[in-house]
């Protein structure tokens, strides 16, 4: 299955001492998501998700790629767990596919779907790895989208029901639960720019979706805690957020205001309600021409701000913005469609001229430090985890190896920034590399490779990249060995 033996996976007789040492109880993990790796999209009664529909719509996903075969993880999960064990990671962040549990998004659960995650969790535990499920990583059952999707308040309640079903089945073996992955993407890429499923371009609906996603989080978190209390477990519940640092391109007033607006739309729209139980005033003023926020009902903010045991941060790059359209328009930047487009139409992403990954994302590890320290300052005491960090590069397998030195440099620099943040007092308890495997990168299909393990999608052969070997050494040593 893999083209490398266990012996080559970074295990040496005597572990070298790290130069940059992380705390003893630091969690070292890898992350994936159901639709991106599982394949088997029509097997065992799984219902269609919005991503199946989006993939089947011509022109939406590069190369016409779909969720099949992905990494065929649905059938090969044992091999993939063995790979993780060989790498030495301590935790596995994966997501559960709602349409495998409730094909129509509501009603009686499908045993076959629950059985799959039951087997996966047992297998992960047998390998000595801690399972960290995320309940929603974007694969909404299509039937719920047909009823309005996340802009429809009822979806939040359906999500809480689904969370109860999953917790009831797996809660005896799992401590760390994340409700949602990157609600910003679900709301704004899904319902405003439309570059992600379900592909709608309705700015007001995107704001309602953001609210209902958080409401779903709060309802699910409360339900999990109550079930945990009844069963005598102590689940830790969090949410994963793609918080980033938004930098003004210049010190001009227009650029500083652009950064404030995007920061509100990207970061504070989530963190303020979640942690403080209120929406930022400046955000409400900025979007007042689009929505009066009438979807916020009495009691919602109290539910949304149910205390978080942890917050996951997915960090890839900081961004630079300008209030002057003439500063935008570089070919190296990802499609303009990726810019938030709700009440910020005059704001442009600016190319800072730094080296970029295969995604066109600028590489600047200081953004990791700034993002983490800012969260710790704004929300003292909030336990943080980096739940995703990584980079896509154009990897090639040559003689059974992938020499991805650029990815090693990226991971090394970002881990050093994480370490510096901890030294500065940030209560950061773990790091998950994105991703264990190359996988389906949403609208960009299989062309973008983020894995520390290469996947040949035709043969399904896995090849641990040099970055995987490097990460394995870091994990085993509990820190970074040597200079970059």
Residues involved in catalysis: 182, 388
In whole angstroms, what is the distance from residue 196 CA to residue 332 CA? 20
How, if at all, do strands 462-464 and 453-455 pair? antiparallel
* Residue 182 in contact with ligand IFM, rule: CB under 6 A: yes
Upper half-sphere CA count for residue 153 (Cβ side, 13 Å): 6
Tokens standing for 198? Answer: 């379900």
Q: What is the distance between the alpha carbons of residues 173 and 340, in angstroms, rounded to a whole number?
A: 39
Taking the complex as a whole, the smallest distance from the CB of residue 444 to ligand IFM amounts, in Å, to 8
Tell me the per-residue interface mask from 280 to 319 with ligand IFM, x by CB under 6 A, - otherwise.
----------------------------------x-----
What residues from 144 to 163 belong to the interface with ligand IFM (CB under 6 A)?
A: none
Out of 22, 434, 470, 471, the residue judged to bind ligand IFM by CB under 6 A: 434
The residues that bridge with 321 in the sheet, in sequence order, are 248, 349
Report the residue number, 65 or 441, with the smaller CB distance to ligand IFM.
441
Q: Which residue has the tokens 């993880």?
A: 73
- Residue the block writes with tokens 């080296």: 355
Least separation in angstroms between residue 440's CB and ligand IFM is 8
The span from the CA of 347 to the CA of 329, in Å, is 12
Q: How far apart are CA 415 and CA 417, in angstroms?
A: 5
Closest distance to ligand IFM from the beta carbon of 305 (Å): 24
Q: Is 434 marked as binding a ligand?
A: yes
Q: Is 441 annotated as a binding residue?
A: yes
Q: Is 33 in the site for ligand IFM (CB under 6 A)?
A: yes
Q: Which is nearer to ligand IFM, 244 or 314 (CB)?
A: 314
Residue 137 annotated in ligand binding:
yes
Cβ proximity to ligand IFM, 94 vs 295, nearer residue: 94
Query: Residues binding ligand IFM: what is the number (CB under 6 A)?
Result: 8
Binding mask 388-427 for ligand IFM (x = CB under 6 A): x---------------------------------------
Shortest reach from residue 452's CB to ligand IFM, in Å: 13
Any bridge partners for residue 386, and if so which? 313, 431
Q: Residue 272 interacts with ligand IFM (CB under 6 A)?
A: no
36 is in an annotated binding site: yes
In this complex, which beta carbon is closest to ligand IFM, that of residue 462 or of residue 476?
462
Minimum distance between the CB of residue 162 and ligand IFM, rounded to whole angstroms?
A: 19
**HSE (side-chain half, CA atoms, 13 Å) at 95:** 27
Our finding on whether 51 is near ligand IFM (CB under 6 A) is no
152 is in an annotated binding site: no
CB of 137 to ligand IFM, least distance (A): 6
Annotated binding residue at 442? yes
Residues 441-480 that bind ligand IFM (CB under 6 A): 441, 450
Alpha-carbon span 444 to 9, nearest angstrom: 30
Q: Between residues 242 and 322, which has the closer beta carbon with respect to ligand IFM?
A: 242
Q: Tell me if 38 contacts ligand IFM by CB under 6 A.
A: no
Annotated binding site for substrate: 36, 137, 181, 316, 434, 441-442
Residues near ligand IFM, by CB under 6 A: 33, 36, 182, 314, 388, 434, 441, 450
């Amino acid at each position: 299955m893999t083209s490398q033996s266990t012996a080559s996976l970074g295990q040496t007789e005597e572990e070298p001492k790290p130069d940059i040492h992380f705390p003893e109880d630091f969690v070292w993990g890898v992350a994936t998501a159901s639709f991106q790796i599982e394949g088997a999209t029509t097997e065992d009664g799984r219902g269609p998700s919005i991503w199946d529909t989006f993939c089947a719509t011509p022109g939406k996903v590069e190369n016409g790629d779909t969720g099949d075969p992905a990494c065929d993880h649905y059938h090969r999960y044992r091999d993939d767990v063995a790979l993780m064990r060989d790498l030495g990671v301590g935790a596995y962040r994966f997501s559960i596919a709602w349409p495998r549990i409730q094909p129509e998004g509501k009603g009686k659960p499908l045993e076959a779907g629950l059985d799959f995650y039951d087997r996966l969790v047992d297998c992960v535990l047998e390998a000595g790895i801690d399972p960290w499920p995320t309940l929603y990583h974007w694969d909404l059952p299509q039937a719920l989208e047909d009823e309005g999707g996340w802009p429809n308040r009822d979806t939040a309640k359906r999500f809480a029901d689904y969370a109860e079903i999953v917790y009831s089945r797996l809660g005896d073996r799992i401590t760390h639960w994340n409700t949602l992955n990157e609600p910003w993407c679900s709301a704004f890429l899904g319902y405003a720019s439309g570059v992600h499923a379900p592909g709608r371009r309705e700015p007001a609906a995107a704001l309602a979706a953001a609210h209902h996603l958080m409401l779903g989080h709060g309802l699910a978190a409360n339900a999990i805690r109550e079930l945990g209390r009844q069963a005598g477990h102590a689940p830790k519940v969090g949410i994963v957020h793609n918080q980033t640092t938004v930098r003004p391109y210049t010190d001009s007033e227009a650029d500083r205001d652009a950064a404030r607006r995007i920061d509100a739309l990207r970061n504070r729209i989530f963190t303020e309600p979640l942690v403080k139980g209120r929406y930022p005033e400046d955000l409400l003023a900025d979007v007042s021409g689009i929505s009066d926020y009438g979807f916020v009902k009495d009691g919602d903010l109290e539910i949304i701000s149910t205390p978080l045991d942890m917050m996951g941060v997915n960090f890839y790059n900081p961004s630079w913005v300008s209030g002057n359209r003439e500063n935008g328009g570089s070919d190296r930047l990802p499609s303009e469609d990726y810019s938030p487009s709700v009440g910020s139409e005059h704001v442009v992403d600016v190319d800072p001229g730094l080296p970029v990954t295969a995604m066109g994302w600028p590489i600047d590890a200081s953004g990791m430090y700034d993002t983490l320290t800012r969260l710790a300052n704004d929300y003292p005491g909030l336990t943080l985890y980096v739940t995703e960090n990584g980079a896509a590069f154009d990897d090639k397998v040559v003689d059974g190896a992938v020499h991805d030195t650029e990815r090693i440099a990226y991971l090394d620099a970002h881990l050093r920034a994480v370490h510096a943040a901890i030294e500065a007092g940030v209560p950061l308890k773990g790091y998950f590399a994105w991703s264990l495997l190359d996988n389906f990168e949403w609208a960009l299909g299989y062309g973008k490779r983020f894995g520390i393990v290469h996947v040949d999608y035709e043969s399904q052969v896995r090849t641990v990249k040099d970055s995987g070997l490097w990460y394995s050494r870091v994990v085993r040593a509990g820190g970074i060995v040597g200079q970059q």
